[in-house]
Structure 1
């Protein structure tokens, strides 16, 4: 079976009711899980993201990000798996899930973008007319 790469996006914040020691233990176990996945080839390198950033749009460049705290992306990694379901299974082993973080797994699109394809960027009005 051919494997594919999947983007793993870490979102959210630690549970307020968790102790810093319990969260640190989960973080330590995450790095053990991550390093094992790198060695086994089920994970590829990624990174935590700094809190600072810039937003770039047609109107210019501003400080950011501006997402709600619950939507903030804390980091990203890559999973190598046979299917989206297999990638989700691998991600479900992340110890940080027990303390409030959410992981989003997305297949990487190999094809070049085309305006006529329905994608995340397609406006709702375009979808209703089929293109």
Structure 2
């Protein structure tokens, strides 16, 4: 099996800010989805959410505040999985709860060094 990276992208302004109970329900959807991948023995690393603050370093030592200054869409987190193929990994990604908020999942194969 190969390893694949799921990169979760969304527009932070489009994600609804719910009550604590609604946020807990959303978190449960994510944990259930990740748990389903783990139950198939295809989870490598559940990954993490990424904070909104950060810097981007560009050639010439140019530093911009935040990794997403010019775009609405930002990387919200990542997960590493195992799958037989890109098609299999993409099929697994289809169950991601991020689609409820108009987000996307970038599926990338990992090429070991």
TM range (shorter): 0.7 to 0.9
Aligned twin of 2:9: 11
Aligned twin of 1:47: 48
1:35 aligns with 2:38: no
* Aligned mates of 1:14, 1:104 — CA distance in 2: 17
Matches within 5 A, 1:88-103: 88-103=90-105
Aligned twin of 2:79: 77
Secondary structure (helix, strand or coil) at the match of 1:20 reads: coil
Secondary structure (helix, strand or coil) at the match of 2:88 reads: helix
Larger Rg: 1 or 2? Answer: 1
Gaps of 5+ in 1: 113-131
Number of residue equivalences: 108
Q: CA RMSD in A?
A: 2.6
Deviation track 1:29-84 (CA, whole Å, cap 9, x = no partner) reads: 111211332343222221111111121233225222134122x1101111210000
Secondary structure (helix, strand or coil) at the match of 2:11 reads: coil
Could you tell me the TM-score, scaled by structure 2's length? 0.77
With a CA cutoff of 8 Å and minimum separation of 6, indicate the structure with the bigger relative contact order.
2
CA spacing shift, 1:54–1:17, aligned 2, 3 Å: closer
Could you tell me the TM-score, scaled by structure 1's length? 0.68
